[in-house]
Amino acid sequence: MPIKIGLIGKTNTGKTTFFNSSTLSSDEISTYPFTTKKSSTSTGYAITLCVHPEFNVNDNPNNSKCKDGWRYIPIELIDVAGLVPDAHRGRGLGNKFLDDLMNADAIINIIDFSGETNEEGEKIENPEYDPLNEVVFIREEIDLWLAGVIRRNWGSVERFSRGPNFNMEKSIASVLSGLGIKSRDILSCLRKIEYPPMPSEWEDSDYEQLARLLRKMSKPSIVVANKIDVAPEENIERLGDIGEEISAVAAQYELILRRGNGRGIIRYDPGDNTFDVIKELTEEQEVGLNKIENVMKEYGGTGVQNSLNRAVYEMMGMITVFPVENESHWVDGKGNKLPDAYLMPSGSTPRDLAYEVHTDIGEGYLYAIDARSNRRISEDYGLKEGDVIKIVSTAK
């Protein structure tokens, strides 16, 4: 199953523009708040260096794509409706869309760095407004929504408490894991906080405390400052002000570049810090592309693909592993060279990879071979970025 990343933020920050540019979709974009009313899902990519040049072969990718030495591994992006303060109570488009986030493995929080729209996503003329506040209010909305989800399901925990051998941690984990939160994360949060021993004694502050930790653990997030092309200097100076890295992004430019590439006007690949013009341009196109080129020079690109890669590789701590069925020719059963690339949490073992390939392969796992050294690797070996691994299993 591909990694799922939810794009969230205040309304009108450019979430759909970011989504369309990353997935080449054509969902509606407009200057009005709440353009997106239903969440939408499509495929984007995490992009990493492919290993085929090192192995000196041409590859035949199957679950991913390879272009100019870069491997594109599919990830799922979810574009959700915009949030306003008190969305968890039903303001704006309400909280239904937050339920769509339940499935997300991670979150990209897109803020509007132009400073031209307020918390409600409305145009403001004289911006006193601080876009960094959005980071705080969006997280608060998610926490309060998650606290509400826990509260709504608390009746089941209370019922468990009336049964024999009641175990608070296990009961909460069993109720919340049904909502898509991993039991491991729930247990680890519960061990970090103090809370009333009986479910009937829990108050709002207890639900909120648990929700806050759960959000941090189960929905890691990065912040993306969009509309950097029109952001005032005083906003740009504040990129480092919240003690976490914020990516500077111009999603609109990425969309223009990706479409221009599709139409054969320019040559541009996601993540590039520049582009080549390959067709004669109209004057208007030339002016537009010059603007884009200047912003790309300043920020090293449009920031869209870098944000996706940062979310997957830095924030989620994923690595890319290439399983093969033959350690000498790096092929699958059909002779395809280096066919698959899997995103795995760093620290995963060869057995984890076996399970990722197929449950049967995992269950029949015997040992694994590193295709670079042709040596057996130990069971507790921590897989590394770019490892090419043959799994030996009783299952075929």
Ligand X SMILES: Nc1nc2c(ncn2[C@@H]2O[C@H](COP(=O)(O)OP(=O)(O)OP(=O)(O)O)[C@@H](O)[C@H]2O)c(=O)[nH]1
Residue 31's binding partner out of Mg ion, ligand X, none, with CB under 5 to 8 Å set by partner kind: ligand X
CB of 119 to ligand X, least distance (A): 12
Q: Which of residues 307-336 bind Mg ion (CB under 5 A)?
A: none
CB of 312 to ligand X, least distance (A): 21
Picking from 336, 393, 320, the residue whose alpha carbon sits closest to that of residue 48 is 320
Q: Using the minimum distance from each CB to ligand X, give the nearer residue, 85 or 386.
A: 85
CB 226 within 8 A of CB 251: yes
Distance CA 352, CA 347 (A): 10
Give the 3-state secondary structure of residue 44.
strand
Residue 226's binding partner out of Mg ion, ligand X, none, with CB under 5 to 8 Å set by partner kind: ligand X
Distance CA 7, CA 145 (A): 16
Q: Using the minimum distance from each CB to Mg ion, give the nearer residue, 35 or 183.
A: 35
Q: Which of 3, 6, 7, 16 binds Mg ion (CB under 5 A)?
A: 16
CB of 49 to ligand X, least distance (A): 27
In the structure encoding, which two tokens stand for residue 253, read together? 């430019």
In the structure encoding, which two tokens stand for residue 322, read together? 């290439």
Residue 343's binding partner out of Mg ion, ligand X, none, with CB under 5 to 8 Å set by partner kind: none
Question: HEC profile for 145-172?
Answer: HHHHHHHHCHHHHHHHHCCCCCCHHHHH
Instruction: Decide if residue 36 touches Mg ion (CB under 5 A).
Output: yes
Residue 17's binding partner out of Mg ion, ligand X, none, with CB under 5 to 8 Å set by partner kind: ligand X
Contact residues for ligand X (CB under 6 A)?
A: 11-17, 29-31, 33-36, 82, 226-227, 229-230, 250-252
> How buried is 241 (Cβ within 10 angstroms: 0-12 exposed, 13-18 middle, 19+ buried)?
exposed
CB of 370 to ligand X, least distance (A): 43
Residue 181's binding partner out of Mg ion, ligand X, none, with CB under 5 to 8 Å set by partner kind: none
Residue 13's binding partner out of ligand X, Mg ion, none, with CB under 5 to 8 Å set by partner kind: ligand X
In the structure encoding, which two tokens stand for residue 67, read together? 């272009």
Amino acid at 354: A
Dihedral angle of Cα 68, 69, 75, 78, to the nearest 10 degrees: -40
Residue 155 neighbours by CB under 8 Å, 6+ apart: none
Beta-carbon neighbour count of residue 231 at 10 Å?
A: 22
Binding window for Mg ion (CB under 5 A); candidates: 34-42, 235-243, 355-363, 379-387? 34-42
CB of 44 to ligand X, least distance (A): 15
CB 249 within 8 A of CB 226: yes
Distance CA 344, CA 316 (A): 10
CB of 229 to ligand X, least distance (A): 5
Instruction: Decide if residue 39 touches Mg ion (CB under 5 A).
Output: no
CB of 324 to ligand X, least distance (A): 40
Instruction: Decide if residue 22 touches Mg ion (CB under 5 A).
Output: no
Residue 209's binding partner out of Mg ion, ligand X, none, with CB under 5 to 8 Å set by partner kind: none
The residues of the shown chain that bind Mg ion, judged by CB under 5 A, are: 15-16, 35-36
